């Protein structure tokens, strides 16, 4: 029997648009019997970006610089939207009002107000499935960690440390781009860019911060403008948020440290989670992506155990279980979770995409972090 297809439009054909397209091009990789996602429309203001898509996806019937053309198409069911942050609010709202399902990109609105307006549109259109992209938890070793967390093997939480460290900005000669401009990337800086990635697992566990003390840093004050000049670089480079949260499983408080750093020497793209508890502890880092590390605390001596995980992904794939898993696989698994939701089978997937409500929690946290850094005080967040 032929599998049903679901038709996607992509808005924003840059770095992430291509990653999305590439995942769909090899959908046969996944051993799933839900919808097959197909690209039928593309949109980018910069027509030079179209070539790669038209050369690789014969099924594209709409190419446009005007995203509303995709929204008017009866053929398109869902949109993946990966555009600069200042455009999220208007484009996401228009997508939702056009009744197209949306896999959007973080930070899901340039600021809290924009996020609130997007969530209002979602509330008014409850039949539309809306999720936010975040792929790192889909590494099989991190999925192991999540299973371990859900089984409550940590006992009472002492501390959770989550973070995302980059180092390419250590090159002070790197020309400025929109991700380093406050007007386009947003006031949150590195938090808006990297923050939702770090919070996906904690939020899925119900670990919503109840207070935050923030230490933000602007390190690179200027950058080349790419045209021979030098311009000010005003975004926050690094942020360390020290939070309190309550674990719904035990009702007890714990410390949560959230680090988003663009200037972390030596870290190419290091996403990590460390969970320390009274009965057990566990860690995962994309720096060593096969390793699920855990220890059991029983008495004085505790030793770490490392399990070398292969590619046993949440949605099974054709890759042999002992082989290596990578970023593109995690990204495809994330889209797989979204497609399963669209197929009405979201409940069968062990780990869901970031929900709109979780993006709201992140905006509350980053807005409070800006206030904390400015005032030098700890800020209390609503429970
Ligand atoms: N999930 C991840 O790991 C990840 C990684 C990087 C970026 N992102 C997010 O993805 C989004 C896009 O980032 P990117 O790195 O792909 O950026 P990018 O600059 O590579 O691509 C953005 C594209 O949007 C296009 N664009 C701009 N205005 C437009 C408009 N009005 N209509 C249509 N297209 C328009 C640009 O021409 C460009 O091709 C951001 O929200 C970013 O935070 C996510």
Q: Which residue has the tokens 């904390």?
A: 372
Alpha-carbon gap, residue 79 to 81, rounded angstroms: 6
For ligand 1, whether the C-beta of 14 sits within 6 Å is yes
For 136-323+354-375, CATH gives 3.30.360.10
The answer for residues whose C-beta is within 8 angstroms of residue 177's C-beta and 6 or more apart is none
pLDDT of residue 124: 98
Name the residue with the closest Cα to ligand 1, atom 18: 14
Task: Output 301 or 130, whichever has higher pLDDT.
Answer: 130
Q: How far is 319 from 313, CA to CA, in rounded Å? A: 9
Cα 273 to chain centroid distance, Å, stands at 14
Assess whether the C-beta atom of 12 lies below 6 angstroms from ligand 1: yes
Task: Spell out the domain ranges in the chain.
Answer: 5-132, 136-323+354-375
Measured at the CA of 311, the angle between CA 308 and CA 315, to 5 degrees, comes to 135
Q: Is the CB of 103 under 6 A from ligand 1?
A: no
Q: Does the Cβ of 138 fall within 6 Å of ligand 1?
A: no
Domain 5-132: assigned CATH number: 3.40.50.720
Tell whether the torsion through CA atoms of 350, 353, 359 and 360 is positive or negative.
negative
**How many whole angstroms from 153 Cα to the centroid of ligand 1?**
39
Q: How far is the CA of 50 from the centre of ligand 1 (A)?
A: 14
Q: Whose CA is nearest to atom 29 of ligand 1?
A: 45
What average pLDDT does range 330-340 have in this prediction?
97
Residue 20 pLDDT grade (very low, low, confident, very high; cuts 50, 70, 90)? very high
Q: Per-residue confidence at 347, pLDDT binned at 50, 70, 90?
A: confident
> Per the structure block, which two tokens stand in for 25?
């091009």
| pLDDT reported for residue 11 | 98
Query: Does residue 258 have a pLDDT over 90?
Result: yes
Cα of 15 vs centre of ligand 1, distance in Å, is 7
Q: Is the pLDDT of residue 2 over 90?
A: no
Q: Tell me how far the alpha carbon of residue 178 lies from the centroid of ligand 1, in angstroms.
A: 10
Q: What angle do CA 94, 97, 102 make, to 5 degrees?
A: 75
Answer yes or no: is the C-beta of 13 below 6 A from any ligand 1 atom: yes
Q: How far is the CA of 310 from the centre of ligand 1 (A)?
A: 31
Q: What number is the average pLDDT over the span 185-198?
A: 98
Residue closest to 203 by CA, chosen among 288, 146, 270: 146
Dihedral of the CA atoms 136, 138, 140, 142 (nearest 10)?
50
Please, what is the angle between helix 15-25 and helix 327-342, to 10°?
Answer: 70
| pLDDT at res. 348 | 84
Q: Is the CB of 85 under 6 A from ligand 1?
A: yes
Residue 87 Cβ contacting ligand 1 at under 6 Å: yes
pTM: 0.97
Q: How far is CA 245 from the centre of its chain?
A: 21
- Model confidence at 107, pLDDT cuts 50, 70, 90, reads very high
Confidence of residue 78 (pLDDT cuts 50, 70, 90): very high
Asked if residue 299 has pLDDT above 90, the reply is no
Measured in Å, residue 115 CA sits from the centre of ligand 1 at 17
The atom number, within ligand 1, closest to the CA of 136 reads 3
């Amino acid at each position: 029997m032929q599998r049903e297809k679901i038709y996607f439009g992509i808005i924003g054909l840059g770095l992430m648009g291509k990653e999305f397209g590439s995942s769909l091009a090899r959908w046969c990789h996944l051993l799933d019997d839900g919808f097959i996602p197909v690209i039928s429309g593309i949109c980018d203001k910069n027509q030079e970006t179209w070539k790669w898509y038209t050369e690789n996806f014969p099924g594209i019937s709409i190419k446009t610089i005007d995203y509303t053309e995709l929204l008017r198409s009866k053929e398109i069911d869902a949109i993946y939207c990966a555009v600069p942050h200042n455009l999220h609010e208007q484009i996401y709202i228009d997508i939702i009002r056009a009744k197209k399902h949306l896999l959007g990109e973080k930070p899901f609105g340039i600021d809290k107000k924009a996020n609130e307006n997007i969530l209002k549109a979602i509330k008014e259109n409850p039949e539309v499935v809306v999720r936010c992209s975040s792929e790192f938890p889909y590494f099989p070793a991190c999925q192991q960690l999540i299973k371990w967390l859900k089984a409550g093997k940590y006992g009472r939480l002492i501390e959770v440390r989550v973070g995302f460290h980059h180092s390419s900005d250590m090159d002070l000669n790197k020309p400025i781009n929109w991700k380093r401009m406050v007007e386009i990337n947003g006031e949150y800086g590195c938090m808006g860019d990297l923050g939702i990635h770090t919070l996906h697992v904690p939020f899925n566990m119900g670990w919503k911060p109840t207070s935050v003390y923030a230490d933000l840093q602007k390190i690179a004050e200027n950058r080349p403008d790419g045209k021979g000049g030098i311009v000010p670089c005003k975004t926050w480079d690094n942020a360390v948020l020290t939070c309190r949260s309550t674990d719904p499983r035990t009702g007890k408080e714990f410390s949560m440290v959230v680090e988003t750093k663009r200037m972390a020497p030596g870290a190419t793209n290091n996403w990590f989670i460390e969970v320390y508890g009274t009965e057990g502890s566990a860690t995962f880092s994309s720096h060593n992506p096969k390793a699920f590390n855990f220890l059991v605390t029983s008495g004085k001596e505790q030793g770490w155990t490392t399990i070398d995980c292969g590619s046993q992904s949440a949605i099974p794939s054709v890759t042999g279980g002992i082989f290596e898993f990578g970023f593109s696989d995690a990204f495809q698994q994330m889209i797989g979770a979204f497609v399963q939701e669209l197929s009405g089978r979201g409940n069968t997937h062990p780990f869901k995409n970031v929900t709109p409500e979780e993006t709201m929690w992140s905006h509350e946290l980053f807005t409070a972090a800006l206030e904390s850094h400015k005032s030098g005080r700890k800020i209390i967040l609503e429970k």
